[in-house]
């Protein structure tokens, strides 16, 4: 039996359907779907079984004795033993069951570090029960009949160096993340679900975001003034112009010029020209994520959709650094796929070209081609976001074969009372690649047909007060580009790092904004252990992992070097432990401050009751008992936006997997809630108060007798009684007594 192992069940199903001479038979082995088919007949009959994994089926961790954060020193994790344990026992059992009877094993997982490691993990499990089984590897970049058949005709060897590179990343990230997270969380007193996550890629990335926010915070705006006019030509066409001194830093100077402007303008000079926009390069992962982000998709969502399209055979493998189509890819054939369908007009236009010469990016690798459309999809077969991504990939692919777009430009110089004004216009002459790829295209800025010496009317003039703006926050797409430039993470992990920062409530919004917790963590680390927040260390480790993949260095050497680096980091931390504790706790206290109490002026802070529920309370308690409620679950983020009425910071609630809830000002929110409750209460029907105790629900003769013995002979007496003492006396629950007392007040909702 030939056993083929793929990374996911959907890939197993598709590959089996491609390779089988007729529909494969679906079976269950140890609760796992497998696909069985036969090739040939009689003695030459060969049986094949295809099984899909679910990503990693084994994981790495520390032994159980290291799990107690408060008893086990964080530093001891650096040299701790790493154990391997099954993640998905059903698949492990199925692999062993199938592996026993395998005469040959083919690893057909995705071809990259992670995929190679997943394949080797599966192979090692099979070899536990069948040590001498021969094995090979197939590599493909698209799950289409042509690509899969070609891959199985040209099988190769398993790349154990590549798998070791993937394994080294697992170990390094586990050790660095666990040790540093434990140390910092204990120092801050933040354990349980509120722990402070620290990591070798995550922390330098967070530092980038915090440092940009600091630049914004210290930015001092400079006021300036602009002068604009609207002009009308003889034909009645209107256009705008701006003074050639684009920014006046002296208001008096700008005002004097503005006052002297008359009602006539003269066109002194016309300068015409052309400019070209070169077509874009093929999509690699970073380019794709950036483009998808510009049309409203987060990096994590864009990659999730791209991976789904890949496993369904619609696009090529989306994790690639390559921006150059390989010679082995039949580009004309790929375009011919679209001769029918919604993109036929574009495909046919390209196929009319005598030669198809695509653009080339700066990065050329041999693992996977750039992202390209692998097969024709119908819009009806895909979800809205899936089609959005698919169309983006198709249009980018087409655009790489198109010509440049050409613009006609026009620059006007005008004179108004001896003051020079300018106006620029542009008109698209030849759309070129922009016809295929219309995203974020600039619009025409049309100017009327004019001649030098023409006289124009000044129909409007205005002087605008402006000020310089701080540097903008990073969008997620831009942040991923910067991470790539600095060597932070890989094409496969950068979007996951950003998602982790969101889930840990370190950042919120897009463009990305850091929370106060981020400032506390980054400020402390930058001051007392800057190695953690700089990209140099993690970039070096990434380069070393590349060398493992290339066979230039052994995994053990890289792991040992990473442990030595981490020990140096801990030396920095231990030297400054007291300062770190003080800095973190002070910073995290700031993260809890909502504003000032309207009753006493002291700080209002996020607090917890003895039962663990959260609320906003006054730091002057018990002298001041002002409080506001908070939602029971979710990360609370104190934003920099403040309520104009109450002066309190707005709050955002983040629950993992759900859309963030902007609660706003907690006092405004509470007032609105009270108002709603009162309105609902007013609409509820009133119930008449009971005339006697026996009219109450649940009060029979026996209970009425007990109440009388306790001195409760009237509705009024029951309403005024101490519910706890009465409950003890008549041996009934306090809750029941309170419900009777509520009924005595006569409202339905109190029953």
Residue 107 bridge partners (DSSP):
5, 137
* Three-state SS annotation for 478-525: HHHHHHHHHCCCCCCCHHHHHHHHHHCCCEECCCCEECHHHHHHHHHH
66 is catalytic: no
User: What tokens does 518 get?
Assistant: 């981020």
Catalytic residue among 35, 37, 310, 317, which?
317
Cα separation of 581 and 275, whole Å? 58
381 close to 368: Cβ distance less than 8 angstroms: no
Helix 285-294 and helix 494-503, axial crossing angle in degrees, nearest 10:
50
CB atoms within 10 A of CB 720: 11
564 close to 619: Cβ distance less than 8 angstroms: no
User: What tokens does 585 get?
Assistant: 């706790």
Cα separation of 344 and 313, whole Å? 20
Cα separation of 257 and 247, whole Å? 13
Cα separation of 289 and 481, whole Å? 9
Cα separation of 287 and 276, whole Å? 21
14 close to 312: Cβ distance less than 8 angstroms: yes
> How far out from the chain centre does Cα 382 lie?
22
Cα separation of 176 and 735, whole Å? 52
389 close to 309: Cβ distance less than 8 angstroms: yes
625 close to 603: Cβ distance less than 8 angstroms: no
Cα separation of 25 and 248, whole Å? 77
* Pairing of the two strands 25-29 and 32-39: antiparallel
Buried b / exposed e along 371-381 (16+ C-beta atoms within 10 A): bbbbbbbeeee
Q: Which of 422, 433, 302, 308 lies closest to 10, judged by CA?
A: 308
**Under DSSP, is residue 255 helix (H, G, I), strand (E, B) or coil?**
helix
140 by Cβ neighbours in 10 Å (0-12 / 13-18 / 19+) ranks as buried
* Three-state SS annotation for 270-339: EEEEEEEECCCCCECHHHHHHHHHHCCCCHHHHHHHHHHHHHCCCECCCCCCCCCCCCCCCHHHHHHHHH
CB atoms within 10 A of CB 61: 14
Cα separation of 83 and 263, whole Å? 83
Cα separation of 479 and 653, whole Å? 23
Q: Which of 17, 33, 24, 262 lies closest to 145, judged by CA?
A: 17
**Catalytic residue numbers, as ranges:** 317
């Amino acid at each position: 039996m030939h056993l083929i192992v793929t990374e996911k069940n959907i890939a197993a199903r598709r590959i089996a359907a491609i390779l089988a001479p007729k529909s494969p038979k679906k079976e269950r082995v140890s609760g796992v779907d497998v696909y069985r088919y036969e090739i040939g007949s009689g003695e030459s009959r060969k049986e094949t079984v295809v099984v899909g994994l679910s990503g990693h089926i084994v994981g790495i961790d520390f032994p159980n004795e290291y799990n107690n954060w408060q008893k086990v020193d964080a530093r001891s994790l650096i040299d701790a033993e790493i154990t391997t344990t099954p993640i998905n026992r059903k698949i492990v059992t199925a692999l062993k069951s199938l592996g026993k009877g395998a005469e040959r094993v083919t690893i057909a997982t995705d071809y990259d570090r992670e995929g190679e490691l997943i394949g080797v993990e599966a192979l090692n499990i099979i070899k536990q029960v069948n040590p001498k089984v021969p094995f090979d590897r197939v590599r493909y970049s698209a799950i289409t009949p042509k690509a899969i058949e070609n891959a199985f005709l040209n099988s190769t060897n398993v790349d154990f160096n590549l798998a070791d590179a993937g394994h080294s990343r697992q170990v390094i990230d586990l050790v660095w993340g666990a040790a540093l997270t434990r140390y910092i969380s204990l120092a801050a007193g933040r354990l349980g679900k509120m722990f402070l996550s620290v990591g070798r890629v995550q922390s330098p990335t967070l530092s980038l975001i915090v440092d940009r926010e600091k630049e914004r915070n210290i930015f001092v705006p400079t006021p300036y003034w602009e002068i604009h006019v609207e002009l009308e030509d003889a034909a009645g066409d209107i256009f705008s112009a701006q003074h050639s001194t684009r920014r006046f830093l002296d208001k008096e100077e700008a005002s004097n010029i503005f006052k002297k402007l008359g009602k006539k303008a003269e066109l002194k000079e016309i300068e015409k020209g052309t400019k070209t926009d070169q077509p874009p390069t093929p999509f690699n992962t970073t380019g794709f994520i950036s483009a998808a982000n510009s049309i409203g998709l987060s990096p994590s969502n864009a990659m999730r959709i791209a991976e789904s399209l890949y496993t369904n055979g619609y696009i090529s493998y989306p994790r690639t650094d390559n921006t150059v189509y390989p010679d082995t890819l039949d580009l004309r054939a790929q375009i011919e796929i679209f001769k029918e369908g919604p993109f036929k007009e574009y495909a046919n236009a390209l196929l009319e070209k005598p030669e198809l010469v695509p653009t080339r990016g700066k990065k050329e690798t041999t693992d996977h081609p750039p992202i390209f459309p692998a097969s024709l999809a119908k819009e009806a077969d895909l979800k809205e976001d899936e089609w959005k991504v698919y169309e983006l990939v198709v249009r980018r692919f087409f655009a790489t074969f198109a010509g440049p777009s050409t613009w006609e430009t026009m620059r006007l110089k005008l004179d108004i009372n001896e003051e020079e004004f300018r106006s620029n216009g542009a008109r698209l002459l030849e759309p070129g690649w922009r016809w295929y790829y219309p995203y974020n295209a600039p619009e025409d800025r049309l100017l009327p047909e004019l001649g030098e010496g023409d006289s124009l009317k000044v129909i409007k003039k205005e002087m605008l007060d402006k000020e310089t703006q701080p540097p903008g926050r990073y969008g997620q797409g831009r942040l991923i580009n910067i991470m790539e430039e600095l060597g932070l993470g890989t094409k496969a992990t950068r979007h996951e790092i950003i998602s982790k920062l969101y889930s840990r409530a370190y950042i919120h919004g897009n463009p990305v904004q850091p929370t106060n917790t981020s400032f506390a963590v980054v400020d402390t680390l930058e001051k007392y252990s800057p190695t953690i927040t700089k990209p140099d260390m993690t970039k070096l480790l990434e380069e070393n992992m590349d060398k493992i993949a290339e066979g230039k260095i052994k995994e053990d050497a890289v792991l040992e070097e990473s442990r030595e680096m981490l020990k140096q980091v801990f030396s920095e931390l231990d030297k400054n432990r007291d300062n770190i504790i003080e800095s973190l706790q002070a910073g995290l206290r700031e993260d809890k401050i909502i504003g000032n109490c309207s009753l006493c002026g002291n700080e209002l802070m996020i607090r917890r009751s003895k039962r663990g529920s959260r609320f906003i309370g006054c730091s002057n308690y018990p002298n001041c008992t002002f409080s506001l409620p908070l939602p029971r679950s979710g990360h609370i983020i104190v934003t920099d936006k403040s309520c104009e009425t109450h002066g309190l910071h707005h709050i955002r609630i983040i629950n993992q997997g759900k859309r963030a809830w902007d609660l706003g000002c907690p006092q405004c929110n509470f007032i609105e809630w009270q108002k709603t409750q009162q309105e609902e209460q007013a609409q509820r029907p009133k119930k008449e108060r009971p005339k006697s105790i026996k009219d109450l629900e649940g009060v029979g003769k026996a209970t009425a007798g007990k109440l009388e013995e306790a001195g409760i002979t009237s509705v009024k007496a029951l309403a005024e009684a101490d519910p706890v003492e009465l409950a003890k006396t008549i041996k009934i629950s306090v809750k029941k007594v309170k419900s009777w007392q509520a009924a005595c007040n006569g409202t339905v909702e109190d029953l």
